[in-house]
Amino acid sequence: MKMTVVEFGYEGDGVTALYIDGVKHTHGNYYDDKIGKWIEGFVAGLEYAEIGFTHEDHYVPADDCEDICHGGDEPPAKWPDARKKYFKHKLTKDELP
């Protein structure tokens, strides 16, 4: 199982989505959904159940996902997104400013 966490607008009040094997499982924001804590609990449950998985984190700057961060649109249903609209702007942890 491959888990990918994508933070759209990581610089502030953005939206975070969890993808499992490339399909969106859930998404939300920190303020309303405490999504980071939800994902931490999900990962802890998988680890406790000794279910093998890999994990990746991707970050999309707010300027490249304004429609998701502030426009109310949902993150893409699959990751990488079909049109590469957001994927081509992603950063890894090492690339963050």
Residue 53 CB contacts under 8 Å (≥ 6 apart), including other chains: 1, 2, 3, 46
Half-sphere exposure at residue 86, Cβ-oriented, CA atoms within 13 angstroms = 27
- Is the separation of the CB atoms in 35 and 26 below 8 Å? yes
Please state, in angstroms and rounded to a whole number, the distance separating the CA atoms of residues 86 and 88: 6
**Percent of the chain scored above 90 by pLDDT?**
86
- The model's pTM is 0.93
Query: pLDDT tens digits, the chain, 97 residues: what are they?
Result: 999 999 999 988 899 999 999 999 999 998 889 999 999 999 999 999 999 999 999 999 999 999 998 888 999 999 999 899 999 999 999 999 8
Q: Backbone phi, then psi, for 18, in 5-degree steps?
A: -110, 125
Domain boundaries, the chain: 2-95
